[in-house]
């Protein structure tokens, strides 16, 4: 049994080993995720040096977080689809179609067609609900054809890619639908669509409490069964590092201030006399980022702590074994598509809210960004492998490359070339490392 103990030891072995590897193991942190964080740090520092200090500013990082959120949300759903050995090429078109539908609901159907008027307090909820339900239904419909009809997902979603985009033109011959409901528009972020400093610190504090609770909770569970637990220093390291990251992010978001013109307007509106340097209003965490964090947490729970997630991974590992194990494989696969569809609706809301309208090229090429984010985040097309935090990081890596190159004034075709090369290199490297690890 010696061949297994090398990989196994994690929990079993005591604190005797002190190599860097065994240290990481006692912390029980995913080394691949750590590697990605390292790669992201290199990208950030590299861009910061090349741009003469423009990259690592509160303003740029805040923008980066908002720009990543829409792709990251969809990538978390794409992980489960790819993990269970499928693909969804339709997310970009579906995003366009759902965004358009939600825009129609709030700009035309509720106010004019139903005659209820603009800017009702319920408008944004109804629009979002219609989008999420329709997204789940359309995603689930594609999933149904894949799972029960036996048509390859590549084909089904390629069809969806064409159909959903085409359907946009059935609404108002492809005119731009604008403006959005004022509450709905907050979902897009911006200075007003953000938490402000107090709210951000509260969220940060709650997140830290959450980290402590979940880390200690899982330790308790293991202790109850008398399993070996990681050493206390590792526990403290995880809590301290996690809390520091959260509070650091909040601090950065709070160090980005409202643009002067907007602050002046705010001061005028509220009868405040502006101090000499202008009014400094901290922006804080943007709503879409908050939404992305919430989605990532929920999706992580679904992927790792719920039956559905476990089944998606088992199906990816060995579909036949999953079936023989009594798993309802078809239903599970259909649901992965439905789940992704509802996440696409959330991203569609963020994008239309940011644009304050729906345009016909909404979400074009998003499927490629979403798939790239999932794959850079360690999701494998051979099935059964992939994590939600990885996909979120993958989305941030992709967006960092884009945004960094914009800062460096790299033209758009060259950006595409770089992103393409990075994508293939990252996956190639990951495959290489994985192959060596299994030997």
Partner 1 sequence: MSSGEANMTTTELVPLVEMRDIRVAFGGVHAVDGCTVDLYRGEVVGLVGGNGAGKSTLMRALSGAHPPDSGEIRIDGQPVSITNPRDAKTLAIETIYQTLALADNVDAPSNVFLGREVTTRLGSLDDSAMESATRTVMGRLNPNFTAFKTQVKSLSGGQRQAVAIARAVYFNAKILIMDEPTAALGPAETAQVRALIRQLKSEGIGIFLVSHDIHDVFDLADRISVMYHGQIVGTVNKDEVTIDQVLGMIILGKRPEEVTQKELAKLHG
Interface with partner 1 by CB under 8 A: which residues? Answer: 1, 3-5, 7-8, 10-12, 221-222, 224-225, 227, 301, 304-307, 310-311, 313-318, 320-328, 383-385, 438
Q: Cβ closer to partner 1: 12 or 261?
A: 12
Residue with smaller CB distance to partner 1, 10 or 424? 10
CB of 82 to partner 1, least distance (A): 13
CB of 229 to partner 1, least distance (A): 11
Please state, in angstroms and as integers, the Cα–Cα distance from residue 107 to each residue in 53, 128, 134, 363, 427, following that order.
42, 13, 18, 20, 43
Min separation Cβ 286 and partner 1, Å: 30
- Residue pair 394/372 in contact by the 8 Å Cβ criterion: yes
Nearer to partner 1, 21 or 307 (CB): 307
* Minimum gap (Å) between residue 234 Cβ and partner 1: 15
What contacts 16, CB < 8 A, 6 or more positions away? none
Q: Which is nearer to partner 1, 97 or 311 (CB)?
A: 311
Q: Which is nearer to partner 1, 59 or 434 (CB)?
A: 434
**Residue 136: CB atoms within 10 Å:** 21
Q: 319-332 as b/e, with b when 16 or more CB fall inside 10 Å?
A: beebeeeebebbeb
Phi first, then psi: what are they for 34, rounded to 5°?
-60, -40
Contacts of 64 (CB under 8 A, 6+ apart): 396, 399, 400, 403
Q: Which is nearer to partner 1, 62 or 313 (CB)?
A: 313
* Tokens read off for 143: 């999933």
d(CA 126, CA 134): 12
Minimal distance, residue 385 CB to partner 1, in Å: 6
Which is closer to partner 1, CB of 269 or CB of 320? Answer: 320
**Comparison of 112 and 318: residue with beta carbon closer to partner 1:** 318
Provide, rounded to whole angstroms, the least separation between the CB of residue 317 and partner 1.
Answer: 3
- Which residue, 114 or 321, has its beta carbon nearer to partner 1? 321
Q: Rank residues 57 and 218 by Cβ distance to partner 1 and give the closer one.
A: 218
Q: Which two tokens stand for residue 331?
A: 């239903």
Q: Closest CB to partner 1 among 250 and 327?
A: 327
CB of 373 to partner 1, least distance (A): 21
Q: How far is the CB of 3 from partner 1 (least distance, A)?
A: 6
Minimal distance in Å, beta carbon 224 to partner 1?
Answer: 7
CB of 137 to partner 1, least distance (A): 24
Please state, in angstroms and rounded to a whole number, the distance separating the CA atoms of residues 305 and 301: 5
Least distance CB 328 / partner 1 (angstroms): 8
């Amino acid at each position: 049994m010696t061949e297994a103990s090398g990989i196994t030891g994690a929990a079993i072995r005591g604190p005797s080993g002190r190599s860097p590897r065994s240290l990481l193991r006692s912390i029980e942190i995913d080394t691949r995720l750590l590697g990605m964080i390292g790669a992201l740090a290199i990208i950030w520092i590299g861009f910061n040096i090349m741009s003469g200090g423009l990259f690592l500013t509160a303003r740029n990082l805040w923008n980066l977080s908002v720009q990543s959120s829409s792709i990251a949300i969809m990538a978390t759903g794409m992980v489960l689809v790819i993990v269970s050995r499928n693909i969804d090429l339709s997310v970009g078109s579906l995003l366009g179609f759902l965004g358009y539908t939600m825009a129609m609901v709030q700009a035309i159907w509720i106010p004019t067609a139903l005659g209820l008027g603009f800017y009702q307090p319920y408008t944004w909820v109804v629009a979002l609900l219609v989008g999420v339900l329709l997204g789940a239904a359309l995603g689930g419909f594609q999933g149904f054809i894949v799972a029960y009809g036996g048509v390859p997902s590549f084909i089904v979603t390629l069809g969806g890619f064409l159909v959903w985009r085409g359907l946009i033109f059935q609404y108002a011959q492809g005119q731009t639908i604008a403006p959005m409901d004022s509450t709905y528009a907050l979902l897009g972020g911006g200075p007003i669509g953000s938490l402000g400093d107090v709210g951000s610190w509260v969220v940060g504090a709650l997140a830290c409490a959450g980290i402590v609770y979940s880390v200690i909770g899982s330790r308790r569970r293991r202790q109850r069964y008398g399993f070996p637990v990681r050493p206390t220093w590792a526990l403290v390291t995880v809590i301290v590092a996690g809390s520091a990251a959260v509070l650091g992010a909040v601090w950065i978001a709070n160090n980005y201030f409202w643009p002067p013109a907007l602050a002046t307007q705010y001061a005028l509106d509220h009868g405040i006399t502006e101090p000499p340097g202008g009014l400094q209003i901290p922006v804080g965490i943007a709503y879409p980022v908050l939404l992305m964090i919430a989605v990532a947490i929920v999706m992580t729970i679904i992927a790792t702590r719920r039956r559905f997630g476990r089944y998606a991974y088992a199906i990816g590992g060995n579909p036949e074994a999953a079936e023989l194990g009594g798993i309802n494989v078809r239903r599970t696969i259909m649901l992965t598509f439905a789940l992704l569809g509802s996440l696409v609706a959330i991203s569609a809301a963020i994008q239309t809210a940011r644009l304050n309208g729906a345009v016909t090229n909404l979400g074009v090429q998003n499927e490629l960004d979403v798939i790239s984010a999932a794959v850079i985040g360690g999701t494998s097309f051979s099935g059964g492998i992939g994590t939600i935090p990885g996909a979120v990081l993958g989305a941030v890596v992709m967006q960092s490359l884009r945004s960094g190159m914009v800062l460096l004034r790299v033209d758009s075709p060259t950006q595409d070339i770089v992103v393409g090369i990075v994508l293939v290199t990252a996956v190639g490297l990951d495959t290489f490392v994985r192959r060596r690890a299994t030997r």
